[in-house]
Chain A
Amino acid sequence: MIENIKNKISQIKLTEFIDSFTKPKEIPSKPLVDNSKVLLEILDKIGEREYKILVNGKLFVSELPDNFKKGDILLAKILRANPLTLSLINLLEFSEINDKQKLAILLQYLKIPNTENAIDLLKAFIKLKIPVQKERFERLLELISETGLIFDNSQLEILLKLYIFAPTGKYKFDSFLLNLFGEKEDKLYVDLLNSILKLSSICKDETLKKFLYEYLIIDIDDRSKYFQLFDKSKLVLIISELMNNKNLAEYYDYLNAIRLSLLKIVLRNRFLKNIHYKQDFLIIKNKNNLNLIKYHFEAINPEKLPGVDRVILYFKTKILGKIEADLLLNFDKLFIKFIANNDSLSKIDAKKDEFIEKLNKKFRVETKITLYNPEIFNG
């Protein structure tokens, strides 16, 4: 849904009109200058998508792609002053998104105090190309500040998406949700892995060993058993059953700790489902070490085209940093786009032909891999 809106709000054309009745008399007109920022105020909704809008003291009519109400105030960038053309989403260039000074200036337009939370939240709005509607921004900022927690950029982006979709009524955007996502993801997974490591080091029971080494810790080349339990909520139920087993009483606390970490992941996914997003992990045994791979994925096929399937994987790796892999399967054609920095892309490039050959042979597809560094294209 956001994607559709995004395309429509990159350029909004407005038509000036004279209506001394609607226009508040106390606001003087100010000149409109190319590339400057302005606040636009919704004065009235006059059609399905048509609004009367006040920009710098001048009245306009325009179609807007989203549903706004009278009194809403939005931040916009003037793409062209004549005829007036605005963008509600491309407020900053890609290279400016991390520039705190530029973000602080935008906060001044909104008359919102310059705080660390406000700067980071504004960055998330701009990065996700969500129109900055003042009231919505202030409300979310207030909710975040009330928790007293510090959210990093990726946490804020997820919260913002959840906040935007909350009005659908499928869930409440409340303190429970904020606290659930307030725990740093890295800490959550470190706790999980440590609990599993502790249990595997002391475990003598064969049933429990089997559970650990066949279902919780996987051999990535033999996924048959793992696929049965792809959904981590099943693991929560299995652990609960194992906790009732009297023979396993001495492992109760370890199992409980694993179950709690898993439950947090499961609960987060209950909310993330609404934005077609899932956080997941694999614990892989590699010689004597356990390796936890954390990844996110987004299932995207809004038109539900038959034979077409798309998933985006997000990795945060120790050595290679952040990598995105956008996988699009169109019948027997597989397109993979790796998005990363130059160092990681060169490593992928060196091995990509081997990977293509493997995929083509194993899945009988025709694979095309492209490499993309967003900083080069946008910077």
Chain B
Amino acid sequence: MDKSLEQIIEEINNLSKDEFNEKLSSIIWELNKQKIDIEFMNIEDISDKLKDIMFDTIKFVDDLNLKGEK
């Protein structure tokens, strides 16, 4: 039976770092036939508070840009 979206997201969120990287590597291999070791910027390096401020700044700049478009 096909999985629901919630099931898929839960499963992915529960993957260990190695399992996650293995899955992603196999997709990369399938598409590019390239062996790539996966190592990404650890987004946890940025605090949640600054992450939230980042989004508000993005929204601020985007609003200004949209106003300029009118």
Contacts and interface: CB of A to CB of B under 8 A. Distances in A.
Interface residues of B, number: 45
Best-buried of B39, B52, B53 by chain A (most CB within 10 Å): B53
Nearest to A304: B45
Contact of B52 (A241, A273, A363): A363
B40 A230 contact: no
Contact of A273 (B27, B40, B60, B66): B40
**Interface SS, B side:** helix
Q: List 10 tightest A-B contacts by C-beta distance, closest first.
A: A319-B68, A273-B41, A317-B65, A309-B50, A245-B2, A241-B8, A309-B47, A329-B50, A319-B65, A237-B12
A24 B41 CA distance: 48
B59 A220 contact: yes
Interface of A: 170, 176, 207, 210-211, 215, 220, 223, 227-231, 233-234, 236-238, 240-242, 244-247, 259-260, 263, 266-267, 269-270, 272-273, 276-278, 282, 284, 286, 291, 293, 295, 297, 299, 301, 309-311, 313, 315, 317-320, 323, 325, 327, 329, 334, 336, 344, 347-348, 351, 355, 358-359, 362-363
Contacts, number: 140
A270 B38 contact: yes
Contacts of B41: 269, 272-273, 276-278, 299
22 contacts: A223-B55, A227-B51, A229-B9, A231-B43, A234-B13, A244-B2, A247-B2, A260-B31, A270-B38, A270-B39, A273-B39, A291-B66, A293-B62, A311-B54, A313-B54, A317-B61, A318-B69, A320-B61, A320-B64, A334-B53, A362-B56, A363-B53
